[in-house]
A and B are shown apart, each in its own frame.
Chain A
Amino acid sequence: MSLFNILNIAGSAMTAQSEKMNIIATNLANAESIIHKNGKYYPYIGKKVLFESYNLNEKGVAGVQVKKIIHKKNPIQMVYDPDNPLSNSKGYILKSNINPITETIENISASRAYQANIEVLKTAKNMILKTLSIGE
């Protein structure tokens, strides 16, 4: 029955959107972090989620899944901070390429999409329940 399929579709979209919100939260939390790896210090590079639709059946009806998580390509900032022990010989340190404003706005958009899918889910559930109560 196609109404039950709606639950799968909306569920897959909710999973994907919450994955996106998860990545955004990681980005915001690590906006100031510095990674220590192999004896060297690197700034944190922002991550981004790519969505992809995958076919649940042959008729063009599709759910969503996370295709892959890529690194953002914005330039890394150089900040003059000579007091920082990690700064180079000219007094600059590298800071992560995360823009908090962009992240916040993407977070809002992801949560709106999540809410839209919850509405779809609620409607489908009500429709199924009403169908079951035929003849009462």
Chain B
Amino acid sequence: MFEKINAMFNLNAHLLNLYAKREEILSSNIANSETPHYKAMDINFKDTFQKMLRNNKNFRITLKNTSKNHLTSKTKENNNHTLFSIQPIKTKNIKINGNTVDMNRERIEFIKNTLKYEENLIFIKNEIKNMMLVLKG
């Protein structure tokens, strides 16, 4: 029973970690907005999430096999730590001191990221509420 509860929260836990990591990167960009030669970093989020879905067996989105001829997709186990790569942002706006931080973008991404994190927290809370409802009746 407990591994099922574990599996329920696993995806959310990974996502929260990812959002927290990204929040850290964005805050580092904001902190270094005036440092010479600093290059703004970011996670390529869409790719990362897709990779996570692909590599995580429990949360693989699969199609039902309605015929014998259907193929099942193979997945390989992968470590979650190596999933996301942090890369410098590609931009044409470079300040005269070699800094590529665009404050407007960073602030908006920061707010967006915060909201996504909190949205995930609410999903977890609701899942717990559902479980308690089932348990208590």
Contacts and interface: CB of A to CB of B under 8 A. Distances in A.
Task: Pick the most buried of A5, A53, A113, A120: most chain B CB atoms within 10 A of its CB.
Answer: A120
B24 A5 contact: yes
B51 to A, nearest CB: 17
B114 A127 contact: yes
13 contacts: A2-B17, A3-B20, A3-B23, A10-B27, A13-B30, A52-B36, A61-B41, A62-B32, A117-B31, A119-B107, A120-B30, A134-B124, A135-B128
Nearest to B38: A53
Interface string A25-69: 000000000000000000000000011110000011111100000
Contact of B33 (A60, A116, A124, A131): A116
Nearest to A120: B27
Chain B interface size, as a band, is 20 to 34
A98 interface: no
Interface residues of A, number: 34
